[in-house]
Amino acid sequence: MSKISRRGFLFGGAAATGALVSASAGAAVGASLGAEAATEAANKANLTAVLKRRERFFGQHQNGIETELQTFTNFVAFDLKPETDAAAAARWFKLITDDIARLSVGEAPLADPTPQLAMGPARFTATLAVGPGFFDKLGLADKKPTGFEQLPAFNVDQLREEYSYGDVLLHISADDPIILSHGVRSLVRDSVGFAKVRYSQQGFSNAQGVVPGGVRQRNLMGQVDGTDNPEIGSSDFNNIVWVENGPDWLIGGTFLVFRRIAMQLGTWDALGRTDKELVIGRNLQNGAPLGKQNENDPIDFDAVDANGLKLIPEFAHIRRAHATNPTERIFRRPFNYEVGVTPDGEPDVGLLWTAYQRDISTQFLPIQKRLDQLDLLNKWTVPIGSAVWAVLPGVEQSANGDYLGKKLFQ
């Protein structure tokens, strides 16, 4: 038998081993490439699905409320021009009703100079609402809902005119920023003959598919946002949100409180997790009330720790915001905003906070008054914009010339 030298063994073994490794690696790479190709195909299909998804336009209620959060949004408010009367406002609302109907199915509005940007619906919605001043300016004071006025002043407020009030609101949203931009341009273009833009406030939420279905988004402070909301489509939701008694033109509509809330993240980020949870009254990881396991567990405001101190302090946001009677409930649909970073490195961020309800005076106001009195979260959140809106009911698909707000002008 011939001897195998150590050198021959090493080099021969290395060659054999290299062949085995190469074969194994080739198989692994082939499998990996196959998996990547399948994943890429699935991703492309999902992206196409995002583009094609649409929200209904016609119906008893406007869309954009009882709707899963879109990824991008823009709240555009207008002030009526002095020469705009009720007849002109009716023509305006007819025009934008047609625009919204087309954009909602991915079509370009009539006479659109950039129809190629109408690439698909991407769950486009645009919700039309009117402010308290709308009625007086158009000689419609007799149709103004009782008590429909801007909110009273709160101690925590540092309101700025450029983020507040207005006569008409278009809340426009979509899952694609270019489709949203095109929709905003189209609707503003058909509006500026009747009104001047007062403000345009852009916001965002999680991209589609990032947050599993049924899980709430987080705001930029890291909190789970929207706990205790009524379930969309439920009788509970209907009873909290939609107007059933009141002016005929408002039946099927709702009232919106819109607040721009700036966050002081520099000092918030300096807090430890325990302190943050005491301020909120909830576990930051899953949103559970302190002392509980899950987000929707009943809150025990009487629970104490080993030292006899309340687990949820008197100043905790959850305690101040909690309804004291069944009427104090609202539907929140907030978006985040980010303008950029200030020269000193402070993020210019916050919430475009929205609350929908039948009656602002009995639902939102009692909650806000308690928050204004003793909510430690006020140290890091400052309302800098505010407005109230009467959201018009939906429009039925018919041949009778129906449009958003038609009954208001009859």
List per-residue pLDDT tens for the chain, 410 residues long: 444 443 443 334 444 444 434 444 444 445 555 556 555 655 555 657 899 999 999 999 999 999 999 999 999 999 999 999 999 999 999 999 999 999 999 999 999 999 999 999 999 999 999 999 999 999 999 999 999 999 999 999 999 999 999 999 999 999 999 999 999 999 999 999 999 999 999 999 999 888 776 567 899 999 988 888 999 999 999 999 999 999 999 999 999 999 999 999 999 999 999 999 999 999 999 999 999 999 999 999 999 999 999 999 999 999 999 998 989 999 999 999 999 999 999 999 999 999 999 999 999 999 999 999 999 999 999 999 999 999 999 998 866 789 999 999 99
Contact 210, 175 (CB under 8 A): no
User: Which one, of 231, 228, 225, lies nearest residue 203 by Cα?
Assistant: 225
Q: Is there a catalytic annotation at residue 225? A: yes
Q: Tokens at residue 193, please?
A: 């003959």
Q: Tokens at residue 167, please?
A: 């006569």
Contact 145, 135 (CB under 8 A): no
**Looking at residue 39, what is its pLDDT?**
59
Helix (H, G, I), strand (E, B) or coil at 255: strand
**Looking at residue 38, what is its pLDDT?**
56
Residue 104 identity: S
**Looking at residue 43, what is its pLDDT?**
58
Which residues does residue 108 pair with via DSSP β-bridges, in sequence order? Answer: none
Name every residue whose Cβ is closer than 8 Å to that of residue 38 and which is 6 or more positions away in sequence: none
* Helix extents (H) in 225-306: 235-241, 265-269, 273-280
Q: What pTM was computed for the model?
A: 0.88
**Looking at residue 47, what is its pLDDT?**
59
Distance CA(186)–CA(104), nearest Å, equals 12
**Looking at residue 163, what is its pLDDT?**
99
**Looking at residue 166, what is its pLDDT?**
99
Please pick, among 99, 167, 175, 225, the residue that the annotation labels catalytic: 225
**Looking at residue 48, what is its pLDDT?**
75
Q: Tokens at residue 280, please?
A: 């909120």
- What is the number of alpha carbons within 13 Å of residue 47 lying toward its C-beta? 7
Distance CA(91)–CA(94), nearest Å, equals 5
405 alpha carbon, distance to own chain's centre? 24
**Looking at residue 210, what is its pLDDT?**
86
**Looking at residue 17, what is its pLDDT?**
43
User: Which one, of 173, 190, 337, 153, lies nearest residue 260 by Cα?
Assistant: 337
